[in-house]
């Protein structure tokens, strides 16, 4: 779970210091957002490929190695002298995220009984909620007060310490079920797999039309100081933790599909409120809280839904799900950036809500017709 925290913070960090990186390298915010968009596009292909290549590796070595690569990437990022160098380093180290999050989820299936699996996977994603609640506000605050280099050095240290912790606590000898090319073909030929993955992509794309630019929008609406901005980001993240904790409790009773649908409704409501572009602090806080309440649970429950659909193919399906997470991240970030810099923020809100509505409708149809 803490590994997911440092991975999540590292993946989302550019959103927290987007204005500082823009000033430091003399580029606009849409260009800085390419750190997220290009990284997401690359991860889309890396996640299933690396799942296939590393399928028989000991999970302890695999997860520890991913964290160490992330640590080195952040260390070198602190030394970057231009944006091209920073982007190149990002595209190299992003393979860590392609490995860690899906394989950490599939690793749980190797030593936990079926009845505990969905709740444990939901708990694992509290790490991403913590990244939103603690990691990104800290990134924003440290970057504004000390500098973006300090953020990268701090992340390098946190990744290294987490690698030591994972290596010392995860049991040795855990290996995923062997998946042949035939098993991959069977998984990919199933209609239910693609429908579930499309829900993931639409959900993440809808959010990322707006999320990477949240700091820019907060400042534009409220002319907020770094401390106020960090506090508002913490509200969003704290709500994400609360939502994930609720999901980890209710998923046993509701089941993954109903949990996904419930939190997709919450997420849609939150983004609808955010689209109001309130310049009043209490309304901004309320919109961010509702948005945050749905963001992580919708994704973590979807992961559990995929594992439930075919537990024997968990290593592959969770990797594919992560791939579609980053596909949505890349597409949403790129579209949102272009709309923002061209002055069409209203269209961005409409696009975000449309994508989320499609995700919800698809999820409800899948639940009704395929019972998954």
Q: At what angle do helices 345-369 and 314-341 cross, to 10 degrees?
A: 160
The 10s digit of each residue's pLDDT in 296-343 is 888 878 877 887 777 767 667 777 787 888 889 889 998 998 888 887
Contact by Cβ (8 Å): 1, 127: yes
What band does 184 get if pLDDT is binned at 50, 70 and 90? Answer: low
Which segment of 121-125, 132-136, 314-318 scores lowest on mean pLDDT?
314-318
The 10s digit of each residue's pLDDT in 345-368 is 778 999 999 999 999 999 999 888
What's the mean pLDDT in 46-60? 80
Domains of the chain: 2-369 (1.20.1250.20)
The 10s digit of each residue's pLDDT in 242-276 is 988 888 788 888 888 899 999 999 999 999 999 98
In the chain, alpha helices (H): 2-16, 18-25, 29-32, 34-53, 59-77, 83-93, 95-111, 114-124, 126-130, 136-145, 148-169, 181-189, 191-208, 214-222, 226-254, 256-274, 281-309, 314-341, 345-369
Instruction: Look up residue 367 and give its two tokens.
Output: 């639940």
Q: What is the pLDDT of residue 309?
A: 75
Contact by Cβ (8 Å): 9, 136: yes
Whole-number Å distance between alpha carbons of 108 and 85: 36
The DSSP 8-state label assigned to residue 174 in this structure reads -
Cα angle: 253, vertex 201, 305; to 5 degrees: 25
Average pLDDT, the chain: 87
Q: Using CB atoms within 10 A of its CB, is residue 367 exposed (0-12), middle (13-18) or buried (19+)?
A: middle
Q: What is the pLDDT of residue 183?
A: 65
Whole-number Å distance between alpha carbons of 223 and 81: 30
Q: What distances in angstroms separate CA 227 from CA 215, 223, 232, 313, one per listed residue? A: 12, 12, 9, 45
Contact by Cβ (8 Å): 297, 305: no
Whole-number Å distance between alpha carbons of 36 and 78: 17
Q: What distances in angstroms separate CA 80 from CA 13, 24, 212, one per listed residue? A: 16, 11, 21
What's the mean pLDDT in 210-225? 88
Kindly write down the DSSP assignment for every residue of 133-168, as one continuous string: IIIHHHHHHHHHHT-HHHHHHHHHHHHHHHHHHHHH
Q: Using CB atoms within 10 A of its CB, is residue 185 exposed (0-12), middle (13-18) or buried (19+)?
A: exposed
Contact by Cβ (8 Å): 349, 275: yes
Whole-number Å distance between alpha carbons of 65 and 59: 10
The 10s digit of each residue's pLDDT in 92-111 is 999 998 889 888 877 877 77
Say which residues have a Cβ less than 8 Å from residue 214's Cβ, sequence separation at least 6: 15, 233, 236
């Amino acid at each position: 779970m803490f590994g997911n925290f440092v991975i999540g913070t590292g993946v989302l960090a550019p959103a927290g210091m987007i204005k500082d990186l823009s000033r430091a390298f003399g580029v606009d915010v849409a260009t800085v957002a390419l750190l997220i968009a290009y990284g997401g596009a690359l991860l889309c292909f890396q996640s299933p490929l690396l799942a296939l290549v590393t399928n028989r590796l000991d999970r302890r070595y695999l997860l520890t190695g991913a964290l160490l690569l992330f640590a080195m990437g952040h260390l070198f990022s602190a030394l970057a002298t231009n944006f091209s160098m920073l982007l190149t380093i990002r595209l190299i180290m992003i393979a860590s995220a392609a490995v860690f999050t899906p394989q950490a989820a599939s690793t749980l299936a190797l030593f936990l009984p079926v009845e505990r699996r969905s709740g444990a996977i939901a708990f694992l994603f509290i790490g991403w909620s913590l990244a939103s609640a603690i990691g990104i506000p800290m990134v924003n605050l440290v970057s504004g007060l000390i500098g973006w280099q300090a953020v990268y050095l701090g992340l390098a240290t946190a990744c290294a310490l987490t690698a030591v912790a994972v290596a010392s606590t995860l049991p040795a000898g855990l290996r995923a079920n062997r998946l042949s090319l035939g098993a991959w073909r069977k998984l990919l030929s199933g209609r239910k797999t693609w429908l579930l993955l499309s829900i993931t992509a639409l959900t993440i794309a809808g959010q990322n039309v707006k999320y990477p630019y949240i700091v820019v929008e907060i400042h534009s609406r409220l002319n907020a100081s770094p401390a106020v901005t960090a506090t508002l980001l913490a509200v969003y993240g704290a709500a994400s933790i609360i939502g994930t904790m609720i999901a980890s409790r209710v998923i046993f009773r509701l089941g993954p599909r109903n949990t996904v649908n419930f939190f997709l409704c919450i997420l849609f409501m939150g983004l609808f409120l955010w689209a109001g572009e309130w310049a009043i602090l209490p309304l901004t806080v309320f919109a961010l809280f509702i948005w945050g309440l749905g963001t992580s649970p919708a994704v973590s429950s979807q992961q559990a839904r995929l594992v439930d659909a075919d537990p024997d193919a968990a290593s592959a399906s969770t990797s594919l799900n992560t791939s579609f997470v980053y596909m949505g991240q890349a597409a949403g970030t790129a579209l949102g950036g272009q709309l923002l810099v061209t002055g069409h923020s209203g269209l961005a809100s409409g696009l975000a809500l449309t994508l989320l509505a499609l995700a919800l409708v698809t999820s409800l149809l899948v639940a009704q017709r395929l019972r998954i």
